[in-house]
Amino acid sequence: MTSDFLLFFFLAAFAVTTAVLMVIQRNPVMSAIYLIANFFAIATLYLMLQAQLLAILQILVYAGAIMVLVIFVIMLLNLQDEKALSERVNIRMVVGVMLAFAFLLEMGYLFVGMNLEGAVPAVRPGAEAIGTVEGMGAAMFGRFLLPFEVTSLLLLAAILGAVILAKKRIDNVVT
Partner 1 sequence: MVYQLVIVAVFLPLAGFLVNGLLGRKLNNETLSGILGSATVGVGFLIACILFAAMLGAPPEERSHIVPFFPWINAGALTSGFSYQVDQLSIVMMLIVTGVGFLIHVYSIGYMHGDRGFWRFFAYLNLFIFAMLNLIMADNFLLLFLGWEGVGLCSYLLIGFWYDRKFDKGTTGDAAKKAFVVNRIGDFGFLIGMFLIVVTFGSLTFESVFAQASAMQVGTPVIMWTTLALFLGATGKSAQIPLFVWLPDAMAGPTPVSALIHAATMVTAGVYMVARCSVLFALAPTTMLVVAAVGACTAIFAASIGLAQNDIKKVLAYSTVSQLGYMFLGLGVGAFAAGIFHVLTHAFFKALLFLGSGAVIHAMHEEQDIRKMGGLKEHLPTTYKTFLIGAIAIAGIPPLAGFFSKDEILWRTFSGGYWPLWLIGVTGAGLTAFYMFRLVTLTFDGTPRWDTGKHPHEAPRTMTVPLIVLAALSVIGGFVGVPSSLGGGNAIEHWLEPVFERAHEKMLLTDHGSVEVEYLLMAVSVAIAAAGVYFGRLFYLRRKDVPARVVHSAPGFYKLLVNKYYVDEAYEAAIVTPTVQGSERLLWKGLDVGVIDWTVNALARLFGWISQTVRVVQTGVTESYVFVFLLGVVAILGWLLFR
Partner 2 sequence: MSIPLPYVLGLSAILFAIGVTGVLTRRNAIVVFMCIELMLNAVNLSLIAFAASMADITGQALVFFAMAVAAAEAAVGLAIVIALFRNRQTINIEEINILKW
Q: Does 154 bind partner 1 (CB under 8 A)?
A: no
For the stretch 37-65, what's the b/e string if a residue is b when 16 or more beta carbons lie within 10 angstroms of its beta carbon?
bbbbbbbbbbbeebbbbbbeebbeebbee
Q: Which stretch binds partner 1 (CB under 8 A): 62-70, 103-111, 137-145, 150-158?
A: 103-111
Q: Does 103 bind partner 1 (CB under 8 A)?
A: yes
User: What span, in angstroms and rounded, lies between the C-alpha atoms of 27 and 39?
Assistant: 19
20 touches, from partner 1, partner 2, none (C-beta below 5 to 8 Å by class): partner 2
- Residues in contact with partner 2, shown as a per-residue x/- string from 122 to 151 under the rule CB under 8 A: xxx-xx--xx---xx--xx--xx--x---x
Total binding residues toward partner 1, as defined by CB under 8 A: 10
Among 100, 133, 141, 149, binds partner 2 (CB under 8 A): 100
Q: Which amino acid, 22? A: M
DSSP 129: T
Among 86, 157, 170, 171, binds partner 2 (CB under 8 A): 157
- Residues in contact with partner 1, shown as a per-residue x/- string from 69 to 98 under the rule CB under 8 A: -----------------------x--xx--
Burial of 35 (0-12, 13-18, 19+ CB in 10 A): buried
Q: Which amino acid, 118? A: G
User: What span, in angstroms and rounded, lies between the C-alpha atoms of 136 and 90?
Assistant: 47
Among 101, 133, 141, 149, binds partner 2 (CB under 8 A): 101
User: What span, in angstroms and rounded, lies between the C-alpha atoms of 49 and 122?
Assistant: 7
Among 91, 116, 146, 173, binds partner 2 (CB under 8 A): 116
